[in-house]
Amino acid sequence: MKKILLSISILFALNIFAQTDTYKGKVIDADTHEALMGVNIYNTNNQSGTVSDINGSFEIKANPQDNIEISAIGYKKSFYKAADLPQIIQLKPTASQLQEVIISADRTRQQRTDVPIAITQISPKELEETNPITLEEVINKAPGIMMIDLGNEQHSMSIRQPISYKSVFLYLEDGLPIRATGLFNHNALIEINHSSLKKIEIIRGPYSALYGSGAIGGAINFITKDPTATPYYKFYAMGNDVGYRKGGVLASNTFGNTGIIGGADYSGRRNGYREHSDYDKYSFFFKMTNKLNDKAYIKSSVNYIDYKTDMTGGLDSLYFYGKDYTSQYRFTYRKVKALRYYTQLVYDLNENNQLNSRIFARYNDVAQNPHYRIKDDYKPWTGTGDPNLAHSEINDNKFYSIGAIVQDQYTRKQLKLTGGISADYSPSSYNATYIKVHKTDDAIYDYYQVTDSILSDYEVKLFNLGFYANAEYKFNDQLKLLGAFRYDNISYDYSNNLGTDAYSGVPDTKNTFNAFTPRVGAIFKANDYISFYANYGKGFRPPEVGELYRGVKVPELEPVYYDNYEGGTWISLLDKKIIMDLSYYYLKAENEIISVKLDDGSRVNQNAAETSHKGFEFGVQLFPVKQVSLKFNGAVSEHKFIDYKPKGKDYSGNEMPGAPKLIMSSELKYHPGFWKKSYIGLEWFHVDPYYMDEANTQKYEGYDIYNLRIGKKFNNFKVWFNILNLTDKLYATSARKSAWGTSYRPGEKRSFNVGVSYIIK
């Protein structure tokens, strides 16, 4: 009997001892090797668990035979016996976009289907398999998006708006605007470091209730790579037959509680098919994460861009349709230097409350001899002026920023509350010098003469203080309501360094703008396969600095407000073999800022236009078999002037220029089972005809472009081969008509692109 009791005691002690074994490991993304934070590690036997930290690390106590479930939204689940848990657990992303994790909706991680907005994610896998030269190659894969290539990464945008150079789009990096309010630049994405990108999230429609000014047509959040949990080194190079070259290196690792990642990248062009089209871009990126304790971590990031390009400008119809790529501009250029830094502290106050705070700084310098400022002295409609003389300027716009965002999030049962405050102080300066330009008899602007005439020389101190709040309440598994608002106070303190009789003769002045932007929405999940959402949002943008202070007096301008009504649905059919993301929107703008001609012949900016924008956006994914996927993304849209009377002409009821009825992209991709770790993709991008002018007198015929992409991995090597513009189509990415004539921005000719990367891990 004593022996039996002793045996039972020993077995019981061994069982108790086994249950207290501690198992450690790290969870990483199988594709990117980044450490995954917030992954659930769950013991299904004793129903206990933990989550991975900022470095992907975790500890869990279990019996060796206990079943451990590893799960995270957007990833396939993994199952192990506790004794078989590997030191490094690699999770594979799911194919379904309905299971994506997004962070742009309220600056925190949540599932795509939990937010009542139109949002699309460009995944790390899409970026990896596209290997883009320019960002529009991936951004234009999203529904309703048309990023316009103006050459060498210069661009404009169209999201629920016609092709636009206005400040109706907001560009962010890791949730922070890359430029200050009032200093929008339609070429701002030049300042994005492509090699630092992990994924891209695109919100369509106004989202000012969170991000403030500029988030009208949409907001694009470029999310950068995080450190890997294990050593990772990547070397890459690519080039094509039309002068493009690119190369770089990326390195990452985690040392104890500290993770680091950094990279350097060069891209450029020499002797392209267009004359005067060389460029160079140097990019540097560094990020560090540090786990302070079980409740807090810090993340810091630095991005630097040094860019210079020739500016080729557009071509008139004779040059364009004749395929004559001789540049009409022999000296124009754009130089950009951009430095951005932030440090983020995340602290769990308790199990229901998380504090997220950031400080940030920016430096930006854009120096130009811009082709678009060149204006002929000769006026063909009057027959007056010197045909060999033109007028232009050399200008330089600089700003630096310091600021902070502090956000608190409280979650308890069905309720989620988020509130924050943001402050941005951004002094800027602008100066422009008049130049005389010589124009040849063959319409070539071949040289210029600098004068001592200063057109502009001013400084503006910009300050933006914002408060925002967001509330979500989940009534049950089917219904959730959301409400949010933001209040902004924006001030410009302007100082003119010229006399008030100069061209830029605006006297020293201060302007202040206040804006209140609400948002409400609801989500109804009928079942696991279909859900519906609806929302109303208000967006705004204050007058830009250039709209206020470029003339001889300060116009009386108010912020432009936009009302957006939207509804949509997500549908999953046939065990996720068919996935649809559909939305319809109606966006109306009042008090649009336009240039109005006065009775005395002068021109001034006024809030004097109303526009309407409506459309149906669709994203459809088909997975007929395991190795094949087919995607259709696009939008059917209508953009019209409701009330628009510039310079005494009435364009009310006309379609807005640069507004095709249909834009669509599709992609057929095949991952051959017989050819492991490879892919073949065929892309099609379609743009309908659209009017080139406000009077609706002339249309551009639109275009269809096809791309072919092939890639293959061989152990640590990857090679890829892309043929862009497969049929060598002559097309214009942008076409405009004005009193000076028509201008076409030619799209890239057919190019053969080859790349290789080598990864050590």
Q: Using DSSP, state whether 190 is helix, strand or coil.
A: helix
- Round to whole Å and give the CA distance between 607 and 592: 5
Pair (270, 173) in one structural domain? no
Pair (681, 709) in one structural domain? yes
In this prediction, residue 154 carries a pLDDT of 94
Is residue 6 included in any domain, yes or no?
no
Q: List pLDDT tens digits, range 169-197.
A: 999 999 999 999 999 999 999 999 999 99
- Residue 70 near residue 79, CB atoms below 8 Å: yes
Name the token pair of 600: 């005395």
Is residue 11 included in any domain, yes or no?
no
Pair (182, 111) in one structural domain? yes
Q: List pLDDT tens digits, range 390-447.
A: 999 999 999 999 999 999 999 988 999 999 999 999 999 999 999 999 999 988 899 9
Residue 326 CB contacts under 8 Å (≥ 6 apart), including other chains: 275, 319, 444
Pair (213, 264) in one structural domain? no
Pair (588, 449) in one structural domain? yes
Residue bearing the bigger pLDDT, 167 or 550? 167
- Residue 139 near residue 145, CB atoms below 8 Å: yes
Q: Among residues 365, 401, 395, 467, which one has the least CA distance to residue 180?
A: 401
Residue 373: is its pLDDT beyond 60? yes
Q: Among residues 362, 365, 437, 364, which one has the least CA distance to residue 396?
A: 365
Name the token pair of 442: 């063959």
Q: List pLDDT tens digits, range 230-267.
A: 999 999 999 999 999 999 999 999 999 999 999 999 99
Q: List pLDDT tens digits, range 704-739.
A: 999 999 999 998 999 999 999 999 999 999 999 887
Q: Among residues 224, 217, 189, 223, which one has the least CA distance to residue 203?
A: 217
Final residue in a domain of this structure, among 220, 249, 281:
220
Q: pTM here?
A: 0.93
Pair (116, 245) in one structural domain? no
CATH code of 544's domain: 2.40.170.20
Mean pLDDT computed over every residue of the chain: 89
Is residue 15 included in any domain, yes or no?
no
Residue 335 CB contacts under 8 Å (≥ 6 apart), including other chains: 307, 308, 365, 366, 367, 368
Instruction: Average the pLDDT over each of 248-262, 367-381, 471-485, 695-709 and give the range with the smallest value.
Output: 367-381
Pair (250, 112) in one structural domain? no
The domain in which residue 448 lies consists of: 221-760
Pair (51, 156) in one structural domain? no
Q: List pLDDT tens digits, range 507-553.
A: 888 999 999 999 999 999 988 889 999 999 998 888 888 888 876 66
In this prediction, residue 99 carries a pLDDT of 56
Cα–Cα separations (whole angstroms), residue 396 to 171, 399, 487: 22, 10, 32
Q: Among residues 33, 55, 32, 89, which one has the least CA distance to residue 259?
A: 55
Name the token pair of 521: 């929405």
DSSP 432-498: EEEEEEEE-TTS-EEEEEEEEEEEEEEEEEEEEEEEEEEEEEE-SSSEEEEEEEEEEEEEEEEEESS
Q: Letter for the amino acid at 268?
A: G
- Residue 236 near residue 756, CB atoms below 8 Å: yes
Is residue 10 included in any domain, yes or no?
no
Place 16 in a pLDDT band, splitting at 50, 70 and 90.
very low
Is residue 182 included in any domain, yes or no?
yes
According to DSSP, the β-strands at 509-525 and 560-573 are unpaired
Name the token pair of 599: 């009775």
- Round to whole Å and give the CA distance between 398 and 691: 35
Residue 603: is its pLDDT beyond 80? no
Pair (169, 290) in one structural domain? no
Name the token pair of 20: 């207290």
Is residue 273 included in any domain, yes or no?
yes
Is residue 16 included in any domain, yes or no?
no
Number of domains in the chain: 3
Residue 3: is its pLDDT beyond 60? no
Question: Cα 388 vs. chain centroid, distance in angstroms?
Answer: 42
Residue 32 CB contacts under 8 Å (≥ 6 apart), including other chains: 124, 198, 225, 228
- From first CA to last CA, the distance across the chain in angstroms is 58
Pair (463, 543) in one structural domain? yes
Residue 143: is its pLDDT beyond 60? yes
Q: What is the length of the chain? A: 761
The dihedral region occupied by 38, where left means phi > 0, alpha psi between -120 and 50, and beta the remainder, is left
- What b-and-e string marks burial along 373-385, b requiring 16 or more CB atoms within 10 Å of the CB? bbebeeeeeeeee
Pair (542, 584) in one structural domain? yes
Instruction: Mark out the alpha helices in 315-394 (DSSP H runs).
Output: 317-321
- Round to whole Å and give the CA distance between 521 and 577: 29
Q: Using DSSP, state whether 59 is helix, strand or coil.
A: strand
Place 14 in a pLDDT band, splitting at 50, 70 and 90.
very low
Is residue 340 included in any domain, yes or no?
yes
Residue 103 CB contacts under 8 Å (≥ 6 apart), including other chains: 109, 110, 175, 201, 221, 223
Residue bearing the bigger pLDDT, 600 or 120? 120
Residue 502: is its pLDDT beyond 70? no
DSSP 660-705: -SEEEEEEEEE--TTSTTEEEEEEEEEE--EESSTT---EE--EEE
The number of beta carbons lying within 10 Å of the beta carbon of residue 470 is 23
CATH code of 150's domain: 2.170.130.10
Final residue in a domain of this structure, among 189, 220, 251:
220
- Round to whole Å and give the CA distance between 724 and 705: 8
**Is residue 530 within a helix (H) or strand (E), and if so which, with residue range?**
strand 530-541
Final residue in a domain of this structure, among 202, 220, 238:
220
Residue bearing the bigger pLDDT, 18 or 326? 326
In this prediction, residue 413 carries a pLDDT of 87
- Longest CA pairwise span in the chain (Å): 121
CATH code of 78's domain: 2.60.40.1120
Pair (714, 680) in one structural domain? yes
- Residue 148 near residue 134, CB atoms below 8 Å: no
- Round to whole Å and give the CA distance between 608 and 598: 13
- Residue 213 near residue 540, CB atoms below 8 Å: yes
